[in-house]
């Protein structure tokens, strides 16, 4: 077990390093000169040169890159308008456009993104698995067809359309949900919860559709398995046959995709956050792309990669716990 974790961690570091390198290279090679942007409209060539010197933009690529990587581990100091700004490790850079440390900007927004992602994940996992199992039980009958139609619809409708439609129906027309207000969970849990219902639903719908299909297919496949026939031949109660011999094997693969999906969302649910005006990492991404705020884009990219890699690792470890074949295969 320790060996698996160890080798996984090492692989993770390599991947993260490569992601950092490539992202940095892309911004270095492709993007507009940050010094020009910072300088603004009334700008002299001397001033641009001065900014370039301050930012270290006159340095060669590798020097800049190692400066960035070094900052991740040991922190670094930026010179902003003549004053020194400390950026502690892990330093993700300084946004000259917002005059903030990128790390702080992300830390502020991460809880919102995590709330959206986890809430939606619970919804789509429950909804998808229940609908999938029901579809499999009623294969070919009305309920199965109903869910098939529903999943097709859910997959086809774009997030932002659904978001606007639901907002209009439930907030404006029916008035069942209050207008979103900026509240903290600790101040007003009820309002906080109501704020998040629509974002959760909107984000969950597409995933739930995929999970429904996946679950249905897995359960139907598993029911064909010989060991299910064995269980029936043993005279087990139908409930036990289902729980142990059909659902457990059918749902295990879902763990894999679930872990990856949640991890992917922690990097920000760009569309949902933007439509609902929720100030999470996804909205930050959207805003900084529009503003071409490179340090932020760079940091968000790294963060996403980080979560996906961590998610991958968690799934792998979880798998060794729930699938005996993987477990003993690894220890042998």
Partner 1 sequence: MSESTSTPGAVSGEGSGPLLSVRDLTVSFRTAQGPTSVVKNLEFDVPRGGALGIVGESGSGKSMTSLAILGLLPKGGTATGSVRFDGAELIGMSEREKRRVRGDRIAMIFQDPLSSLNPYYKVGTQIAEAYLSHRSGVSRKQARTVAIEAMERVHIRDAARRVDHYPHQFSGGMRQRIMIAMALSMEPDLIIADEPTTALDVTVQAQILDLLDEIRTETGAGLILITHDLAVVSEVTDQIVVMRAGETVERGAVEQVFSDPQADYTRRLLDAVPRIDDAIGVLRTTAITVPDNGRSAR
Q: Name the site residues for partner 1 (rule: CB under 8 A).
A: 225-227, 229-237, 240, 244-245, 248-249, 252, 323-325, 328
Pick 164 or 223: Cβ nearer partner 1: 223
| d(C-alpha 310, C-alpha 8), whole Å | 10
| d(C-alpha 53, C-alpha 238), whole Å | 74
* Shortest Cβ 212–partner 1 spacing (Å): 22
* Shortest Cβ 254–partner 1 spacing (Å): 14
DSSP annotation of 141 reads: S
* Shortest Cβ 2–partner 1 spacing (Å): 22
Token pair belonging to 244: 């142990």
* Shortest Cβ 232–partner 1 spacing (Å): 6
Pick 145 or 248: Cβ nearer partner 1: 248
Question: Can you state the angle between helices 102-137 and 281-291, rounded to 10 degrees?
Answer: 120
Name the one residue in this structure whose structure tokens are 């490179």.
Answer: 294
Pick 52 or 245: Cβ nearer partner 1: 245
Name the one residue in this structure whose structure tokens are 């490539």.
Answer: 22
Pick 49 or 316: Cβ nearer partner 1: 316
| d(C-alpha 30, C-alpha 196), whole Å | 38
Max Cα separation, the chain?
A: 87
Q: Are the C-beta atoms of 127 and 271 separated by less than 8 Å?
A: no
Pick 218 or 272: Cβ nearer partner 1: 218
* Shortest Cβ 8–partner 1 spacing (Å): 23
């Amino acid at each position: 077990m320790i060996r698996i974790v160890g080798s996984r961690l090492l692989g993770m570091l390599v991947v993260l390093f490569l992601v950092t390198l490539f992202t940095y290279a892309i911004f270095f090679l492709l993007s507009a000169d940050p010094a020009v942007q910072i300088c603004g409209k009334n700008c002299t060539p001397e001033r641009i040169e001065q900014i370039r010197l301050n930012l270290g933009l006159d340095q060669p690529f590798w020097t800049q890159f190692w400066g960035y990587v070094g900052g991740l581990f040991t922190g670094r100091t930026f010179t902003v308008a003549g004053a020194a700004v400390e950026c502690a490790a892990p330093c993700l850079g300084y946004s000259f456009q917002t005059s903030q440390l990128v790390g702080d900007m992300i830390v502020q927004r991460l809880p919102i993104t995590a709330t959206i992602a986890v809430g939606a994940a619970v919804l789509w996992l429950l909804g998808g698995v229940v609908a999938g199992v029901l579809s499999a039980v009623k294969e070919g009958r009305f309920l199965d067809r109903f869910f098939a139609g529903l999943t097709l619809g859910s997959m086809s409708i774009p997030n932002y359309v659904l978001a606007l439609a639901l907002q209009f129906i439930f907030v404006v027309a029916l008035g069942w949900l209050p207008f979103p207000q900026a509240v903290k969970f600790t101040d007003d849990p009820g309002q906080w919860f109501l704020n998040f219902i629509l974002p959760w639903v909107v984000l969950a719908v597409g995933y739930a559709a995929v999970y429904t299909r996946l679950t249905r297919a897995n359960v139907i496949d598993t029911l064909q398995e010989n060991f299910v026939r064995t269980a029936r031949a043993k005279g087990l109660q139908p409930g036990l046959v289902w729980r142990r011999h059909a659902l457990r094997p059918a749902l295990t693969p879902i763990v894999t995709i679930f872990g990856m999906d949640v991890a992917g969302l922690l990097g920000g649910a760009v569309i949902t956050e933007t439509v609902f005006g929720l100030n999470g990492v996804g909205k930050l991404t959207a805003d900084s792309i529009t503003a071409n705020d490179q340090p932020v884009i760079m940091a968000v990219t790294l963060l996403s990669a980080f979560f996906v890699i961590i998610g991958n690792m968690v799934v792998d470890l979880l798998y060794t716990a729930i699938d005996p074949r993987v477990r003993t295969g690894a220890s042998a």
